[in-house]
A and B are shown apart, each in its own frame.
Chain A
């Protein structure tokens, strides 16, 4: 904490934030959703120029999403986790691309995996998943095993042993070359 950032933060932002020192050179600041961008802009001006990445955690018992921004300063070597909580029913958050443009793919991924909406982000289309029709998969109420059983077993397809109702068609070698 060589630059006393938490003391300065307390003086600047008063009671809008809640600071804590977790480990050596790792600090945590919690705030409300509408104040996050002010805080991030102030941190960037305080030489915390490196945004490592952005995470999201699903606290299903408390009915909340938690978003975490990880910022780092090359001068004071402190790592700060900026945290905020969102309502789980309709989660949305202001986009941070005007502060750090490279946060756009991270927000795109969180939108796809958790369903958090970021108005202002130019592209929130799907990134990793293909033809996905189910819940956003990293949420806690999406059970991967049930999804697998529902989609990829013979029970799900309505087939029971001894599988007499499947038509197995044999294609001869000549027929397979017909298309050439």
Chain B
């Protein structure tokens, strides 16, 4: 078969596969949260039903900029998904972590453009808080990445994953413990769960950016969250938990990361935005900085 056709099939497969994996995680996550809160919870395939239902409803759009923004957000996140190695299998040949961090912000920026065009102040406040929080979690994250860059002299995620494939003892979680703590704290903010769930915050800003989305836009909003889950848990697994050699081990590890996030979410309230950013810089940032200094000096 033509190489380009094969590539096309792989890309389409990853696009829909990342959405499916993300929706499955969301559904299982709702079940997990419900059991923590002593109730039954919806079935595990609930998120698929939600997305299909959203696409069958009528949508309201305000102008062309809103359409463009939402599509740009989804496109940016799916593009990021192409660069995450899945079970030591990288589609486009390179999987630089720098590209991943760069493309992930397109998701937020596209969402910002789309919902600001709707003119609802709730949406604007929500997205401005989310962007401010991004400033908070990017810094500790980048410090830990720099520590790994120093060690491996390469920014390729596949290199990191392969370097950890000598059994459990060689995982980065033991080699960079402070970095792992920093990334765990920052990860709560990346995924948007308590104590840093400022983007959605229903009781304060009426669900932030989601307040103006209806019909297919709301469906795309769900898919954005799903792909974001896939990308970010995949990132953590490749960085710290040793990648994986088969797809089911990879899925199990990704869900384990998400499970930890949900458990912390169930018992924590939400910080104020300035408290949140300050805590991220002070706690996650100091651990990341210590890790960076340690790696630079003692290698």
Contacts and interface: CB of A to CB of B under 8 A. Distances in A.
- Contact between chain A and chain B defined by CB under 8 Å: yes
B153 interface: no
A180 B214 CA distance: 13
Classify chain A: how many residues form its interface, as a range.
under 10
A169 B60 CA distance: 24
Interface string A162-180: 0000000000000001001
A144 B61 CA distance: 43
Interface in A140-180: 177, 180
Contacts of A180: 58-61
Interface residues of B, number: 4
Contacts of B61: 180
Interface of A: 177, 180
Query: Interface on chain A toward B: helix, strand, loop, or mixed SS?
Result: loop
B59 to A, nearest CB: 8
Question: 5 tightest CB-CB pairs across the interface, nearest first?
Answer: A180-B61, A180-B58, A180-B60, A177-B58, A180-B59
A177 to B, nearest CB: 7
Contacts of B58: 177, 180
Nearest to A179: B60
A180 B59 CA distance: 8
B70 to A, nearest CB: 15
Contacts of A177: 58
A142 to B, nearest CB: 38
Interface in B56-114: 58-61
5 contacts: A177-B58, A180-B58, A180-B59, A180-B60, A180-B61
B218 to A, nearest CB: 15
A68 B60 CA distance: 53
B62 to A, nearest CB: 11
Nearest to A176: B58
A180 B61 CA distance: 7
A79 to B, nearest CB: 38
Contacts of B59: 180
A118 to B, nearest CB: 35
Contacts of B60: 180
A57 to B, nearest CB: 40
Nearest to A177: B58
A111 B59 CA distance: 45
